[in-house]
Structure 1
Amino acid sequence: MVVYADLIFLVNVVMDAAVLLVTARTRRLSFKPWKLLLSSALGGSYVLLMFVPSLSFLFTFAAKIIMSLCMVWIAFGYGSLQRFLRNTGTFYVVNFVAAGGVFGLNYVFQTSGDVMNGLLFSQTGAASFNIRIETWAVIVLGAGSLVLHRLVMSGVKKKEELAVHLAEVSVIVDGADFRCTGLIDTGNQLYDPLTRTPVMVMEASQLGSMLPESWLRRIRAAEVEQIITAIGTEEDFIWQDRLRLVPYRGVNRNTQFMLAIKPDKVVITYSSGQVETTKVLVGLDGGQLSGDGAYHAIIHPTLVAAG
């Protein structure tokens, strides 16, 4: 049997480098490219030692653990015990994802003939399966698994970061309680220019049947001025005396108006506690504030800071 040691070395260097790179991205680690390459070369060289019979002791469980620790240490340094263990744990997880992805995706693309050809039966009737994966498939499927892992982890991190800024909002008007999830947005600096009252924004649909359907259509069409001028001539709104028009600059930098309502109070419950305020306006937005429905209101940061 002919063994191409140079090809085995290069494939393992590439795969080790990819795993280390994904580990760094997942943990948001800064690294020096030459250290990552040196660590990958160490991993590639380690595989070649399996062809030296006298060094078989290097392929015990303990030796493999030590080798992986060395690779993580070379690539990312030590820092502290906690940091080092987290880096090592992430390195193992990414390795398992890559290996599992290679086998899983390889199985997906196999035909029934490939599966049957891999079955082996012993004289006692026991069955085993021989897995054969081409070198190009290892590289392509491994890279695909790592990219998929990166995308999934990126989405998870974004969700976690977003969750930190989410809060439960309760808008109370004349005893009616409208509840939804809100996003604490430091970029929201909308105030009523006359009273300097902070304005939080909420999807108009959260008011349910309390808001006339024709009003909802006009809010969505950015025709809120017509709502004010039509008061008394069209559908009645029981909280007409609570309505306000708040000017703001739209995307095109032109001044537009947002229809807002003056609630009795707003209660915001978030990770650090609970805030109750009466000095607030609730602006009504005709669209959907979050594409995935994660939140339905945007909370003014001063409302939370006041608590």
Structure 2
Amino acid sequence: MIIYIDILLIENFIINLFLLMVMTKLLKVKKRRKQEVFAATLGAFYVLVMISPSLKFFTLIPFKIIVSIIMVYITIGTTHIKNLIKGTGVLIMLSFLLSGVCFGLSFFSNGYSLNSGYTLNSYPIKYLVLAILCILIFTERIVDIIKDKYFVSNYTYDLTIKINNKEIHTQGFLDTGNELKEPITNLPVIIIEKALYDDVDLDPKKLLYINFKAVNGVDGMLRGIRVDEIIIENESCKLLREGIVCFTEHSLAEDGEYRALLSRGIV
């Protein structure tokens, strides 16, 4: 029997990625695309121990369970024992379910008799199954991208900030969980990227320093300035507000869709 290693790895990678994708859906955990791909790749390479006589020892059930736990850990990124056990159980259950479906489909192209039993001579439906899994993986990814784009577009505003007779134009995302305000004036805070104000001269005497604390417990201090003319607009409204503009050296969006974060109190 001839085994093509590259095809074997690709087939197992597709199956592992599909199973991990369904597992994260069922567990309702945050998607980690790169980690999913890495875990699926690890699982794909593990299949090599099944075709290597010197590594047959690693095909025992305890090692299979350990590999499953590692794949789940990489995918969901947690060390909580309960979550690891739950994720591993779901992954194994899905593996058995998919195996049962594939085995059932194999009856369409292979005969079975009470005398000779069942022999798997060919499995042309395998490529149909792999094609369906690929379509489901890409469809799920495309749907997630569309949902994210739609969500961001609904909460994105055209932003014009006038500082020292200069206007900064950018896109701002309304962070509904952001309630950061300057404690004395009680004005809402807008956070913008450093590159937007590089050519703006700021008077050090007018700078404000605002303490903040994130949900994950990280705290720090933002440097900002009071602005009396902030124009916020989209297709349905146009608002003129005053607030505190704070500056960050970090990029706020990976794809550059927006470069400012709006406080909930400013809209």
What is the TM-score of this pair, normalised by structure 1? 0.45
1:188 equivalenced with 2:178 (yes/no): yes
Deviation at 1:250, TM superposition (A): 4.5
Q: How far 1:303 sits from its partner (Å)? A: 1.4
Decide whether the 8 Å contact of 1:242 with 1:263 is kept in 2. no
* Aligned residues of 1:190 and 1:300 also touching (Cα < 8 A): yes
Local SS of the residue matching 1:193: coil
Per the alignment, residue 254 of structure 2 pairs with 291
Q: What CA distance in whole angstroms lies between the structure 1 residues aligned with 2:257 and 2:234? A: 15
For residues 166 and 214 of structure 2, what CA distance do their matches in structure 1 show? 31
* More divergent stretch after superposition (265-274 vs 238-247): 238-247
- Cα RMSD over matched residues? 2.4
Q: Residue 163 of structure 1 corresponds to which residue in structure 2?
A: 153
Match of 1:300 in 2: 263
- Cα displacement (A) at 1:249: 1.6
Q: How does 1:11-30 map to 2 (within 5 A)?
A: none
Cα offset, 1:136, TM superposition = 1.0
- Report if the CA contact (8 A) 1:174-1:264 is conserved: no
SS of match in other structure, 1:197: coil
What SS does structure 2 have at the residue aligned with 1:209? Answer: coil
Percent identity between matched residues is 20
- After superposition, residues 72-91 of structure 1 pair within 5 angstroms as none
Q: Residue type of the partner of 2:231?
A: V
Displacement, 1:159?
Answer: 0.6
Which one has a bigger Cα radius of gyration?
1
Question: Superposed, which structure 2 residues align to 1:97-116 within 5 Å?
Answer: none
Residue 220 of structure 2 aligns with an amino acid whose one-letter code is: Q
Q: How far, CA to CA, are the matches of 1:143 and 1:253 in structure 2?
A: 40
How far apart, in 2, do the equivalents of 1:144 and 1:186 lie? 36
Helix, strand or coil at the partner of 1:139? helix
Unaligned runs of at least 5 residues, structure 1: 1-21, 26-132, 211-236
* Cα-to-partner distance string for 1:151-171 (whole Å, 9 max, x where unaligned): 112111111111100001101
For 2:206 and 2:229, the matched residues in 1 are separated by 12
How far did residue 252 of structure 1 move? 6.3
Q: For residue 283 of structure 1, report the CA deviation from its aligned partner.
A: 0.9
Verify the 8 A CA contact 1:168 1:180 in the aligned structure 2: yes
The one-letter code matched in structure 2 to 1:303 is: I
Instruction: Mark the runs of 5 or more structure 2 residues left unpaired by the alignment.
Output: 1-21, 26-122
Q: Is it true that 1:141 corresponds to 2:104 in the alignment?
A: no
Cα distance, 1:259–1:134 mapped onto 2, change above 3 Å: same
**Distance in 1 separating the partners of 2:155 and 2:140:** 23
What is the TM-score of this pair, normalised by structure 2?
Answer: 0.51
Separation of aligned partners in 1, 2:178 and 2:186:
14
Secondary structure of the residue aligned to 2:199 is helix
**Is residue 245 of structure 2 the alignment partner of residue 282 of structure 1?**
yes
